[in-house]
Structure 1
């Protein structure tokens, strides 16, 4: 391990550099959970004249499945005798004091061997069928070595042992990189994998008449299965996009099941015999033409095959691979030289770092004097009476500061703790760390509505623009023996704007005002804000009473009053005309109702002389009513004509009325 770069998104970039000789394999151990990340990002370069043959790693298949792929069932036996009996018939060689016994294994068994009176031990005896058609019994205890000469048997046993051994290290996976080449060469390996997020902590040392001192430390955890010995460590406060994908798990695609085509059932038919006709001759000529056409197609195909370019030579492929490797090396070199990219910033530890596996370290990243001052901060929206002691920090270190906790030491004493966000060079930030018990702040509100400042009449709508002014008073009581600089954080409200005193600083949510509070005294500080308000009225619906109220409250001036009164005057004329029309309609309805009564009475009268006078009276009454109805119709027509012209005049007046008056 030569280089480690840790990121704030929980990822790490690791580089290894080592030397290989010939076709030596390189092994790298890593946690099982990181295998997917490594498979996604692994880069291996042979910096000499060799090449990389491939990378193997332990399978994640269950042990039972891996053991089932081994021809010999070694797992069912735990003793040597049992394992030897599993390979009966295999070729073996046994080295004995008398020489080498070679042949096929017939079996193995345990036999008792007496040692002293009443004592016995067990020995393993092998039965070997030799090439001389002899069965020799070999005591394994006296043998020097047992060798499997059966082809593939030793490899199967090795696979079994590797599979069993991998279960003892479930959390560790090993990558085996195969190298191809001659001589001594350097191999470069890099990859990204999940890593604990590195953290930052700060200390601010405050002393009278001295500049504040900021000290920053990074907490780094080595959870990899290997030691970091003199590595180049870089801590990047960026969050590149990263994700997890199950690359180490075998994935099988689902394929559709296509049924086999069923044969066409053909039924026997009988056909009539016929002589050869002209149509058969034309059909034969057509078939000959098709054969010639197919021959042309075949010849064209052969021509194209002959014209196809030959595959590239092995030297050309090797040259292409060399150019690609050079490009990768150049890209890696340029990226390393680039340092911080875009919004990311990094801390490069100057000295090599050593962190043992499963250990953590606290590494210094900054030690610099800073600009700033001690203040008391009060956030106006909170119900607390006491402000917070704070340090108004200005990042004059020239470095970006990552977010983290801060411990404040004031005059060699612990003063408190706080949190800061990411701080760019030259940026200021307030760090509150304790409660100021010597200062109390209370608030009160006053609000008033200012008179209308502007009136706009257009397209039949009148808009009044006014402002609501609110005053918030901060009453600061400084009970300390020394003067106190109080920073008031007044909340920013949508659509409200400040009036008068400008803040010394603004954030997205607060205005910050600096107030100097004298010792043992009370200081008032007022913040004025105004809210624009708009009221809309349809000009046609404005009443004389509304105009009177607006004039009384001085919302409108004389010109606007006259324009509105002209409209209300026209509306009064229209209302009078409508009233007269409604009265005529009521009178006409009453006449119609009375005429129905009279006609009903006339129908009930007889032709007698006694009722003749009453009939004449009814006829006279009907005549008078008809005359009145005629007069009503004449008057209604005149009123409707006058109403129509008056309404048109009003609509035209409203439509043409335009006014923009600032008061």
Structure 2
């Protein structure tokens, strides 16, 4: 495990100081005395496999197969290759034999022997050490120099794709732990305030952009931040390769307020065409997010605004982010002391929408006819289709009216039949009156059913005509 301390620079443009410790635990039952300790940074793939338990592979049971007697085969001879010869070396030893191979192995081991551990100065004693405070001539107490109070005890070097810290002469009692200083280097630090709407809506966080200029691989771990000679907060940092940079945040920036409530997405049609009766519309969605930043402090600030990345959306504003992650855009927004700045992020998303004209109602067609972005030829085709659909709608209304009339007559016929059942004398004038009226209504029903059938036939013909018109319609 690693732990760091970052000393922020006193002025802009100056380097900060990074100090790192490796937390080492002696979990053995032996004391370590003057041990050369190698600490490797990286994430090699490792696993645990049980090699004690025997493995039994299940084997299938195979029944013997009976074959008919085969005729003996005669194979022709092939071309023989020249047999290998054993060469002799002076002294009667076999070239490539055991004696020469052993000598080569010894020479190889001597040539590729691991390099010796770096020579140590004084042994690194990890027991409790007394800390002496140096006093100045004046009576006022001075703050401790956090940069010069720690000296690295490790030598750093690459180890293949990994990175190795070597600490010589380590003394550590059994079942004890210690912190070994492995990094004490200046680093490039830029003070910033980091704002993310999903982290804290009203204020950014005090932070920094730390560039790894140490030339060493830095493992992830906690970071204690010192600023102005005092404690400023705690942060965490991910694995950082040499030359790479990371953002850290360690406190809330109270004097800076951010209002990010102004957000809107608008959609408008920018193009349209008709392909085989399908209205293909190109819509542009325009998204705007405003960040109102108020700096009430007496210091100039640089606010890093983290704006969420949306798949398929394209930035359209003049200001571009200084970096992008898989989930965020990052913008640097300078804000002078006691000033306010509005930062606007504009995005657009173009999508295609397909609508079958046959299924559109007249209201939807009228809406698209009033859209100025659709070409006039497409509007003319839509107008003709709308007239044909309006004619179909009128025919449908006539069908509904005839059907309602038939239903009303049928209901009245049921009433007449019920009344006729109550009349005992079928030769009476009242019964004959009901019978005549029922007969007249039946004639009306037959006539209206004939009209209804004609209307349905006409509606189907108009639907077929509209479908044939739309099926071959190609308008750009």
Normalised to the residue count of structure 2, the TM-score between the two structures is 0.64
Which of the numbers 455, 469, 472 marks the counterpart of 1:653? Answer: 469
For the Cα contact (< 8 Å) 2:255–2:296, is it kept in 1? yes
Whether 2:379 is the aligned partner of 1:561: answer yes
* Bigger share in helix: 1
Deviation per CA, 1:504-533, whole angstroms, max 9, x where unpaired? 112223221111111222222222234556
Q: Is the contact between residue 362 and residue 390 of structure 2 (CA under 8 Å) also seen in structure 1?
A: no
Hey, what does 1:242 align to over in structure 2?
A: 47
Secondary structure of 1:453's counterpart equals: strand
Partner SS, residue 469 of structure 2: helix
CA shift, 1:388, in A, is: 2.1
Contact 1:390 1:432 in 2 (8 A): yes
Contact kept? 2:271, 2:375, Cα under 8 Å: no
Query: Is 1:204–2:20 an aligned residue pair?
Result: no
2:27 corresponds in structure 1 to 223
Moved more, 548-557 or 420-429: 548-557
1:114-513 to structure 2, matched below 5 A, reads 198-204=1-7, 206-208=9-11, 210-237=14-41, 238-243=43-48, 245=50, 247=52, 340-342=159-161, 345-349=162-166, 351-447=168-264, 449-500=266-317, 501-513=319-331
Q: Counterparts of 1:480 and 1:470 in 2: how far apart (Å)?
A: 31
User: Where do residues 83-98 of structure 1 align in structure 2 (5 Å cutoff)?
Assistant: none
Supply the distance in 2 between the matched residues of 1:422 and 1:556 (Cα, whole angstroms). Answer: 53
Give yes or no for the alignment of 1:547 onto 2:365: yes
Instruction: Report the CA distance between 1:221 and its aligned residue.
Output: 1.1
How far the C-alpha of 1:429 sits from its partner, in A, is 0.9
Instruction: Tell me the equivalent position of 1:573.
Output: 391
In 2, distance between residues paired with 1:630 and 1:439? 84
Kindly indicate whether the alpha-carbon contact (under 8 Å) linking 1:451 and 1:554 is maintained by their aligned counterparts in 2.
no
* Alignment CA distance shift 1:443-1:586 (3 Å): closer
Instruction: Write out aligned runs for 1:596-635 (5 A).
Output: none
On the 8 A contact 2:163/2:216 being kept in 1, the answer is no
CA contact (8 A) 2:5 2:226 kept: no
**CA-CA distance at 1:483 after TM superposition:** 1.7
Secondary structure at 1:402 match in 2: coil
Cα drift, residue 587 of structure 1: 7.5
TM-score relative to the length of structure 1: 0.48
The answer to whether the 8 A contact 1:455-1:659 is kept is: no
CA distance in 2, matches of 1:587, 1:522: 73
State the shift of 1:549 in Å: 3.4
Query: C-alpha distance in 2, partners of 1:359/1:414?
Result: 28
Q: Structure 1, residues 238-262: CA drift from partner, whole Å, max 9, x if none?
A: 2432227495xxx7999xxxxxxxx
Contact 1:551 1:557 in 2 (8 A): no
CA contact (8 A) 2:365 2:386 kept: no
Secondary structure class of the residue paired with 1:212: strand
- d(CA) in 2 for partners of 1:496 and 1:473? 17
Quick one: distance in 1 between partners of 2:406 and 2:289? 67
Instruction: Report what 2:125 is aligned to.
Output: none
Residue 562 and residue 361 in structure 1: after superposition, are their counterparts in 2 closer, same or farther (change >3 A)? same
Distance 1:446 1:391, change over 3 A: closer
Asked which structure has the greater CA Rg, the reply is 1
- Measure how far apart 1:638 and its partner are: 6.1
User: Distance in 2 between the 1:641 and 1:386 partners?
Assistant: 70
Q: CA deviation at 1:379?
A: 1.8
Q: Deviations over 1:537-559 (max 9, x none)?
A: 43113233333334446464543
Aligned alpha-carbon RMSD (Å):
4.8
Q: What is the CA deviation profile of residues 475-514 of structure 1, one whole-angstrom value per residue up to 9, with x for unaligned ones?
A: 2222333322221122334454433021111222322111
The alpha carbon displacement at 1:227 in A equals 2.9
Could you tell me how far 1:375 is from its partner in structure 2?
1.5
The C-alpha deviation readout for 1:360-390, integer Å capped at 9, x for no partner, is: 3322322322223111222233445332222
Is the contact made by 1:235 and 1:347 (CA closer than 8 Å) also made in structure 2? yes
Who is 1:274 aligned against? none
CA contact (8 A) 1:542 1:568 kept: no
Q: Find the counterpart in structure 1 of residue 93 from structure 2.
A: none
Task: Write the distance in 2 (CA, Å) between the matches of 1:474 and 1:223.
Answer: 53
Aligned pairs, number: 385
In 2, the alpha carbon distance for the partners of 1:484 and 1:629 equals: 87
Structure 1 unaligned blocks of 5 or more: 1-197, 255-318
Does the 8 A contact of 2:272 with 2:375 survive in 1?
no
Secondary structure of the structure 1 residue equivalent to 2:379: helix
1:634 Cα deviation (Å)?
7.8
Output the CA distance in 2 between the equivalents of 1:431 and 1:386. 16
Identify if the C-alpha distance between structure 1 residues 402 and 336 changes in structure 2 by more than 3 Å, giving closer, same or farther: farther
SS of structure 2 residue aligned to 1:367: strand
C-alpha separation in 1, matches of 2:236 and 2:352: 43
Contact 2:3 2:223 in 1 (8 A): no
Match of 1:281 in 2: none
